Structure 1
Amino acid sequence: MALTQTQRVGIFAALILVMAATRIHHFNALPDASWGIFFLAGFWLRGSARWAFPVLMAAAVLIDYVVITDLGIDFWSHYCVSAGYWFLVPAYGALWMGGSWLAKRQHGLKLSTLGMAVAVLLVSEAACYVISNGSFYWLSSHVPAPKSFAAWFENLGDWYLPFLQTTALYAGLGAVLHVLALQVARVSQHHGQAQH
Structure 2
Amino acid sequence: MMSISSSIPLSNRHQLMIASVLAILMFATRDYHFSTTYNLPGASWAVFFIAGIYLRTAWPLLGFLALSWWLDFAAYAWGGASAFCLTPAYGFLLPAYASLWLAGRWYAGQYQFAWQTLIPLAFSMIAGLSLCELFSSGGFYFFSDRFADTSWAEFIVRSMTYFPLYIKSFVIYTGIATAAHILFVLLTCQPGTRKQPVG
**What are the equivalent positions in structure 2 for 1:95-174 lying under 5 Å apart?**
95-108=100-113, 110-143=114-147, 145-174=148-177
TM-superposed deviation, 1:141 = 2.2
- CA-to-partner distance for each residue in 1:134-193, whole Å, 9 max, x for gaps? 1000111222x11122211211221121111111111111111111111221269x9xxx
Q: Please name the residue that 2:14 is paired with.
A: 7
5+ unaligned residues in a row in structure 2: which ranges? 1-7, 194-199
> Which residue, out of 53, 57, 62, partners 1:48?
57
**How far does residue 25 in structure 1 lie from its aligned partner after superposition?**
3.4
1:121–1:168 Cα contact (<8 Å) kept:
no
For the residues of structure 2 that align with 1:142 and 1:25, how far apart are their CA atoms?
24
Deviations 1:1-40 (A, max 9, x none): 5211222122111110011000143133101100001000
The alignment partner of 1:142 has SS state of: coil
Q: How many residues align?
A: 182
Runs of 4+ in structure 1 off by over 4 angstroms are: none
Matched, 1:78 2:83: yes
Offset, 1:112? 1.1
CA distance in structure 1 between the aligned counterparts of 2:48 and 2:35, rounded to whole angstroms: 20
Contact 2:29 2:42 in 1 (8 A): yes
RMSD: 1.9
Structure with more of its chain in helix, by fraction? 1
Structure number with greater Rg is: 1
State the TM-score, normalizing by the size of structure 2.
0.85
2:43 maps to 1:36:
no
Structure 1, unmatched stretches of 5+, are 191-196
CA contact (8 A) 1:25 1:31 kept: no
